[in-house]
């Protein structure tokens, strides 16, 4: 394994404000996306903001899946982080794209904990407070 895990960042634009403001739909979409990716769903925390917007986080055996929605802008930002080789976070993103039917989307994929990156990112001395 060249990295500890894979982190996918998904942005969706031009989504239905109604779907983005429906907390039950959003949580269901997250759960289905995690299962579609081969991840193991453990628990969820979510909150519907007033007058609009939803934040939801699914805890996975492999790490997490989350989404924040802005119905007034037709926009949502999601991330899927999975460790190991079994779960495929890209598939979770594909499921969310299908469920939210955006006009356009952007996916960014990051390898997390790659051995050469991890060594370079760890400071040799504690950082001074800012």
CATH code, domain with 19: 3.60.90.10
Cβ-contact 112, 81 below 8 angstroms: yes
How many domains is the chain built from? 1
Q: Residue 64's domain spans which residues?
A: 14-103
Confirm whether 128 is domain-assigned: no
Residue 38's pLDDT is 96
Confirm whether 62 is domain-assigned: yes
Whether pLDDT at 125 is above 80: no
Active site residue 36: no
Confirm whether 27 is domain-assigned: yes
Active site residue 83: yes
Confirm whether 98 is domain-assigned: yes
Q: Minimal CA–CA distance to 57: which of 31, 93, 35, 83? A: 31
Using a cut of 0.75, tell me whether the model's pTM lies above it. yes
φ, ψ for residue 81, nearest 5 deg: -120, 120
Whether pLDDT at 8 is above 60: yes
Active site residue 18: no
Question: In the structure, what pLDDT confidence band is assigned to residue 119 with cuts at 50, 70 and 90?
Answer: very low
Q: One of 15, 83, 93, 105 is an active-site residue; which one? A: 83
- What tens digit of pLDDT does each residue of 44-62 get? 999 999 999 999 999 999 9
């Amino acid at each position: 394994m060249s990295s500890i895990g894979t982190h996918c960042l998904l942005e969706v634009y031009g989504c239905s404000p109604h779907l983005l403001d429906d907390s039950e739909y959003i949580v269901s979409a997250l759960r289905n996306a995690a299962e579609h990716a081969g991840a193991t769903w453990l628990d969820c925390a979510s909150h519907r903001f007033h007058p609009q917007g939803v934040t939801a986080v699914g805890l996975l055996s492999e790490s997490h899946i989350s989404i924040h929605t802005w119905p007034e802008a037709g926009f949502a930002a999601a991330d899927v982080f999975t460790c190991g080789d079994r779960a495929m976070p890209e598939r979770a993103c594909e499921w969310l794209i299908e469920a939210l039917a955006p006009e356009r989307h952007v996916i960014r994929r990051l390898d997390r904990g790659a051995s050469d990156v991890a060594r370079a990112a760890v400071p040799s001395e504690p950082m001074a407070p800012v």
